Amino acid sequence: MTRAIRSVLEVAMGYDAIILDQWGVLHDGSEPYPGAVTALEALRSAGAQLAVLSNSGKRASENETRIAAMGFPPGLFNVVMTSGEALWLDVRSGRVPERRYFAVERVQGDADTWAGGLDVTICDVPEAAEAILIMGLPESAAAEDWQDVLDHAMTANLTVYCSNPDRASPRSGDCNTLAPGALAHMHKENGGNVVFYGKPHLHVFEAMERSLGGPRRLMVGDSLEHDIAGAHGAGWDSVFVQGGLLRQNFTAGDAADTLARLCAVEGVRAPTYRMELLA
């Protein structure tokens, strides 16, 4: 049964590391959630090892810079790991063999930055590519905007690598925006070949484990589908944050009943703990 807590500090000393999602837990894409920085500083003062595990198509270093720019103190986190970093490492090692990619990116140039240090080419057109990389979507994008790219991938039997499996991302103003995973899942459901990098897929959790000491890990996330399911698959305990991606489901009624219903719908085991916002 999921235990309701007010603060991660209540249970933190039972774990070797506290691993946190980024969007929906630390911040809304524009600024930290109220109390998030204070909560993290209290955890560090208590001796907790802190890490960020994010479904972001960008490299870990870019996410470290973004987090610091939002007001999170430098050095607060022991490790930052992203799905984009995990894919980059696999391309560098040769586990991912393709060397010519057409990229779907949030801002033009994101893919070139991601590819720094790799012997790869980011192609201007999908017809010149050996694979498709979905790493981000422009603000206000619709899945249909990329149908021609996906049609070519299907016709040419190209693998689509999605380095952010999230279907939606929280933004300021109490709204969500379409995320890369929505596009990749649509392609997969239509019969396309898709390889996902990021939560809930195990290799990202394994990459984090290699970067952290100690076997007892606690995942703090707002996505049942990605954070909570992925944590269970990796053998980690979890904290579900109600005030993130699924916040509109918790505006009325009993929170425990709502969580049980959502877990049943998603086919996800109940989280170990639940809380309103990071505190």
Q: What is the pTM of this model?
A: 0.85
The residue-averaged pLDDT of 71-77 equals: 94
Q: In the β-sheet with 79-82, what is the strand arrangement from edge to edge?
A: 3-4, 273-275, 237-241, 217-221, 17-20, 50-54, 79-82
* Predicted confidence (pLDDT) at residue 171 exceeds the cutoff of 80: no
* Predicted confidence (pLDDT) at residue 204 exceeds the cutoff of 90: yes
The residue-averaged pLDDT of 130-146 equals: 90
The residue-averaged pLDDT of 247-266 equals: 95
* Predicted confidence (pLDDT) at residue 175 exceeds the cutoff of 70: no
Q: What are 88's strand-pairing partners?
A: none
**Tens digits of per-residue pLDDT, 23-35?**
889 998 889 999 9
* Predicted confidence (pLDDT) at residue 179 exceeds the cutoff of 90: no
- 213 or 80, higher pLDDT: 80
Domains of the chain: residue spans and CATH: 3-84+200-275 (3.40.50.1000), 96-196 (3.40.50.1000)
What local confidence, expressed as pLDDT, does residue 236 receive?
98
CA distance linking residue 216 with residue 98, whole number of Å: 36
**Tens digits of per-residue pLDDT, 81-133?**
999 999 999 999 999 999 999 999 999 999 999 999 999 999 999 999 999 99
* Predicted confidence (pLDDT) at residue 270 exceeds the cutoff of 70: yes
CA distance linking residue 38 with residue 18, whole number of Å: 15
* Predicted confidence (pLDDT) at residue 174 exceeds the cutoff of 80: no
* Predicted confidence (pLDDT) at residue 188 exceeds the cutoff of 80: yes
What local confidence, expressed as pLDDT, does residue 142 receive?
84
Q: What letter represents residue 209's amino acid? A: E
- 169 or 275, higher pLDDT: 275
Residue carrying the six token digits 């380095």 = 163
**Tens digits of per-residue pLDDT, 35-49?**
999 999 999 999 999
* Predicted confidence (pLDDT) at residue 231 exceeds the cutoff of 80: yes
CA distance linking residue 130 with residue 71, whole number of Å: 40
